[in-house]
Amino acid sequence: MTKPTTRRQAREAARKKNRELKPLTKMATTAQQAAKIATAASVGTLILGHYSTRYDGLEPFKEEAEVHFKPVLLADDGRAFEF
């Protein structure tokens, strides 16, 4: 990564880093982080659950994860999965 050249770029770089680290301080992962872990662990299917209520709908979580891993399933109340 190149060194930021302006204050604005430095602030944006700091904000980006904070967004990446914030879930870790709450003992959680982002959908993207979960997908990267699933790839590294060579799992067959990633099931996402325990979603932030700040967002409307669950599809954005799936879309974020699918950039890095497929297949991705979304857990929801009452949904059962067979393996």
Residue 40 resides in a domain: yes
Tens digit of each residue's pLDDT (9 = 90 or more) over 64-82 = 999 999 999 999 989 999 8
Residue 79 resides in a domain: no
Tens digit of each residue's pLDDT (9 = 90 or more) over 19-73 = 665 655 666 788 998 999 999 999 999 999 988 887 888 999 999 999 999 999 9
* Token pair recorded at residue 5: 């050249």
**Distance from the Cα of residue 19 to its chain's centroid:** 11
User: What total number of domains does the chain contain?
Assistant: 1
Which domain, by its residues, includes 46?
Answer: 7-74
Residue 67 resides in a domain: yes
pLDDT value for 83? 82
**C-alpha distances in Å from residue 38, one per residue of 10, 21, 44, 75, 76:** 32, 19, 8, 16, 19
Residue 46 resides in a domain: yes
Give, in degrees to the nearest 5, the angle at Cα 22 between 54 and 18.
110
Residue 1 resides in a domain: no
Cα dihedral angle (61, 66, 72, 73), rounded to 10 degrees? 30
